[in-house]
Structures are given as structure tokens and as C-alpha cells.
């Protein structure tokens, strides 16, 4: 059995013949899941079509993480995930990946009671100092433009590709086989269990989980989620931040969907919802949207009007509703093939939820992979 390395071309027989669980996709979701499965002693094979990890949504992501989310299903995952991102003991590198620059979530003043309740919940669970600011012009380098804000000083951002790589290191150390540069062509039922056809051989699996990000919108045969997933464009730009522009926390405005985060000491990443559906993953950036993003965000960061634009990246994420009646509280969606599951679309939140989502999906997989053959 050989692991297909990052430079090797796949050859027939390069993948193991069987595994308890096959994970398709080595983005942040697949990597978290593989880590949790391997830690439980499950034999796991990860199949990633790209020669290296982090080429999908994960590699382009801003990586903003916070405990709060207005969607309770996301918030329930994001809170324990933040604890993992803060804990150096959970990482092969021995270092917590979190850059704790703080996180500011702005909202309409009517949301103040809900935000205060959320701050209490977060602090109770994490021992943090989340708090609400109201009637305040500016907080953590961000103008609130009339809103109230939940401030999470212990949140911030992670580098999603580094997090992914760390989990794959841990998964391999626990026995997982991670195959890069191998594409899954189809998944079919054979004798009641799935057979995963790749361009380097066939793997018989107890269960299969597709963690294919925006590819879930147009998946290979056998991986189509029962509740539809669509790909939606996400476009971000990086601009220079020079003094006297202040350092700032990460920022999301629930009134408009605008967001921003610092990148190192002198750059800022900015974004605004780009409502282009069924967008190809590698579509060209939209310059008009980039311009509109600068204009809209200058209400919060006035220095943006004169900032030097450095780059714009466009990618996509998988959007969908969680699998109603699915497993692991809607994290897994069934497909037409028994024991083959697709993870839910993360709707632009896959990084802040990945640690806890991977853990819960692993629990569901273990039950399914070792259930009686149908």
C-alpha cells in the first residue's frame, strides 16, 4: 500500500483496496474528519484530486473565526471550534493556530438583547470576555455606523491551509492514508457497501463521506447530495493598510454582510456578498464588485478610500440547507447510494465550524461504517 505523494502521478493500485471510511476531498472539512476518524482507530483513506491540499475554498479563505453566529446551527459548531483553535495541545505543531486579533460582529440596534445573551453564553462556555457595545462610534479600529456590536476579544482568524495541513499530519500519524493527485470518478453499491472508483484503483469502503466543497453542486456519480447544494461566488480583495490607519479586529456586519480582517501588520482583506450562483470555481474576479466593496466598507474603515489595492481573488463555496432528517444533526446529507454521505454546504462558514463539525461527523461515520451490511 503506498501513499500517493504530492508529486507522484497516480497509478492503478496506488490506493488501498479497502478502508472503513473513505473521505473524498482534503479541504479543511475532509482533513478535520480524517483526523477525528483516525484518532478513533478507524481505517481511513482520504482521496484528494489536487496534487496538494488547500486548493479548493479552503486555500482562498479568509479564515475568520468567532464563537457567535446568527445561525444557531453554525453557532453551536463555532463555539467549541474556537476552543480548539485556541488550544495548543490539539495541534501537531504544538501551537494554537488562532491569531487572536479580536472579532467584532455589528448588528442592528434591535439585536442588542440577543447579542448580550450570546455574550453570556460564550463567556460561560469559554471563560472569555465577550461583550456588547452600544452607542459607540468606533471599536477595535472599526466604525460601527450606527449599529451595536458583539466584541469577542479572544476570537480572530486562522490560516485555513495550515490548519488543514496540521490535521492531515495528525491523521497520517494515526494511520490514515492520504492520497493526493487522485480523483474519485464514481461511487457505486457493491454487495451492500460502497465501492469508490478512482483513477488509481477501486476502494471497498464501509462508508464514504464526500467533503468536496463547491464541487458538491456538480458531483461525480454516486456523490450527489439528496438535498441540493449550489456553488456561490465569494470574492475578496487585499489592500495595503498604512499608518495612520489603525490596526483592527476581524469584522462582520450582519446588516449588510460586509466583512474584513487584518492580514499581518499592514494589510487588510475585505469582502462583500457576491450573489452569483452556480459560479464556476475559477471564474475571473469582478472588478466592479471589488470597487463596490471598497466603497461600502469605507463607512467602517474611512482610510480605505485611499488604500492601495493589492489583489482580488474569486472562488466559491457550497451553499445549501443542512440535511433535514440527516445524520449528525443535519451535518451529513444522504446520497442515492447506501452508506455514502455528503457533508452539508457550509454557506461561507466552513473554517469557523471545521473542528467541531469534523468531530461530530466522525461519530456518525463510525456508527455507519460498522453497522450491519444492508
Ligand X SMILES: Cc1cc2nc3c(=O)[nH]c(=O)nc-3n(C[C@H](O)[C@H](O)[C@H](O)COP(=O)(O)OP(=O)(O)OC[C@H]3O[C@@H](n4cnc5c(N)ncnc54)[C@H](O)[C@@H]3O)c2cc1C
> Which residues sit at the interface with ligand X, rule CB under 6 A?
24-30, 47-50, 55-58, 60-64, 160, 183-184, 211-215, 220, 234, 236, 315, 317, 346, 348-352
Is the Cβ of residue 274 or residue 339 nearer to ligand X in the bound state? Answer: 274
Q: Shortest distance, CB of residue 212 to ligand X, whole angstroms?
A: 4
| 118: three-class secondary structure by DSSP | helix
Q: Closest distance between ligand X and the C-beta of residue 48, in Å?
A: 5
Euclidean distance between CA atoms 243 and 339, whole angstroms: 56
Backbone angles phi, psi at 58, to 5 degrees: -60, -40
Cell numbers representing residue 175 in the block: 494511520
CB nearer ligand X, residue 75 or residue 136: 75
Q: Residue 50 or 112: which CB sits closer to ligand X?
A: 50
CB 347 to ligand X: min, Å: 7
The enclosing H or E element of 207 equals: strand 201-210
Tell me the closest approach of the beta carbon of residue 315 to ligand X, in angstroms.
Answer: 4
Smallest gap from residue 109 Cβ to ligand X (A): 25
Q: Give yes or no for a contact between 179 and 45, defined as CB atoms under 8 angstroms apart.
A: yes
Q: CA torsion 281→283→288→293, rounded to 10°?
A: 20
Residue 233 near residue 217, CB atoms below 8 Å: no
Q: For residues 25 and 262, which CB has a smaller minimum distance to ligand X in the complex?
A: 25
CA 336/CA 120 separation, integer angstroms: 43
Would you say 43 or 233 has its CB closer to ligand X?
A: 233
> In the sheet that 309-319 helps form, which strands lie side by side, from edge to edge?
131-133, 148-152, 103-107, 250-253, 259-263, 267-271, 230-240, 309-319
> Comparing C-alpha atoms, which of 237, 247, 230 is closest to residue 270?
237
- Identify which of residues 50 and 256 has a Cβ nearer to ligand X in the complex: 50
Least distance in angstroms from the C-beta of 50 to ligand X? 5
Report the alpha-carbon distance of residue 298 to residue 255 in Å, rounded: 15
43/198 with CB nearer ligand X? 198
Question: What element of type H or E holds 149?
Answer: strand 148-152
Closest approach, Cβ 65 to ligand X, in A, equals 6
The answer to whether 252 touches 64, Cβ cutoff 8 Å, is yes
Residue from 300, 298, 239, 297 nearest 264 by CA: 239
CB closer to ligand X out of 58 and 170: 58
Helix (H) or strand (E) holding 363: helix 350-369
**Least distance in Å: CB of 67 to ligand X?**
12
| Pairwise CA distance, residues 302 & 308, whole Å | 13
Amino acid at each position: 500500500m503506498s501513499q500517493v505523494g504530492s508529486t507522484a502521478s497516480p497509478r492503478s493500485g496506488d490506493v488501498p483496496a479497502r478502508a472503513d471510511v473513505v473521505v473524498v476531498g482534503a479541504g479543511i472539512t475532509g482533513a478535520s474528519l480524517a483526523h477525528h476518524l483516525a484518532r478513533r482507530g478507524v481505517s481511513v483513506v482520504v482521496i484528494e484530486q489536487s496534487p496538494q491540499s488547500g486548493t479548493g475554498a479552503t486555500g482562498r479563505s479568509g479564515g475568520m473565526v468567532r464563537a457567535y453566529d446568527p445561525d444557531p446551527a453554525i453557532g453551536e459548531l463555532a463555539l467549541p471550534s474556537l476552543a480548539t483553535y485556541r488550544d495548543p495541545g490539539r495541534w501537531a505543531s504544538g501551537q494554537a493556530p488562532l491569531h487572536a486579533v479580536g472579532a467584532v460582529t455589528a448588528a442592528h440596534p434591535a439585536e442588542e438583547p440577543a447579542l448580550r445573551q450570546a455574550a453570556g453564553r460564550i463567556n460561560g462556555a469559554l471563560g472569555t470576555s465577550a461583550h456588547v457595545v452600544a452607542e459607540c462610534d468606533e471599536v477595535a479600529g472599526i466604525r460601527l455606523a450606527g449599529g451595536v456590536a458583539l466584541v469577542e476579544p479572544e476570537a480572530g482568524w486562522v490560516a485555513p491551509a495550515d490548519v488543514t495541513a496540521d490535521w492531515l499530519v495528525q491523521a497520517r500519524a494515526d494511520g490514515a492514508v492520504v492520497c493526493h493527485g487522485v480523483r474519485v470518478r464514481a461511487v457505486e453499491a457493491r454487495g451492500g457497501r460502497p465501492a469508490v472508483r478512482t483513477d488509481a484503483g477501486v476502494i471497498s469502503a464501509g462508508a464514504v463521506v464526500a467533503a468536496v466543497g463547491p464541487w458538491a453542486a456538480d458531483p461525480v456519480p454516486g456523490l450527489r447530495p439528496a438535498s441540493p447544494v449550489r456553488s456561490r461566488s465569494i470574492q475578496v480583495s487585499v489592500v495595503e493598510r498604512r499608518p495612520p490607519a489603525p490596526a483592527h479586529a476581524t469584522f462582520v456586519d450582519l446588516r449588510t454582510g460586509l466583512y474584513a480582517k487584518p492580514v499581518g501588520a499592514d494589510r487588510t482583506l475585505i469582502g462583500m456578498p457576491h450573489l452569483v450562483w452556480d459560479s464556476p470555481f475559477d471564474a475571473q474576479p469582478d472588478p466592479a464588485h471589488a470597487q463596490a466593496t471598497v466603497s461600502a466598507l469605507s463607512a467602517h474603515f474611512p482610510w480605505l478610500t485611499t488604500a492601495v489595492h493589492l489583489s482580488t481573488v474569486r472562488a466559491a463555496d457550497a451553499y445549501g440547507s443542512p440535511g433535514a432528517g440527516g445524520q449528525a444533526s443535519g451535518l451529513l446529507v444522504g446520497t442515492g447510494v447506501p452508506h455514502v454521505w455528503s457533508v452539508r454546504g457550509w454557506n461561507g462558514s466552513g473554517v469557523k465550524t471545521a473542528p467541531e463539525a469534523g468531530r461530530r461527523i466522525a461519530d456518525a461515520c463510525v456508527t455507519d461504517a460498522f453497522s450491519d451490511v444492508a
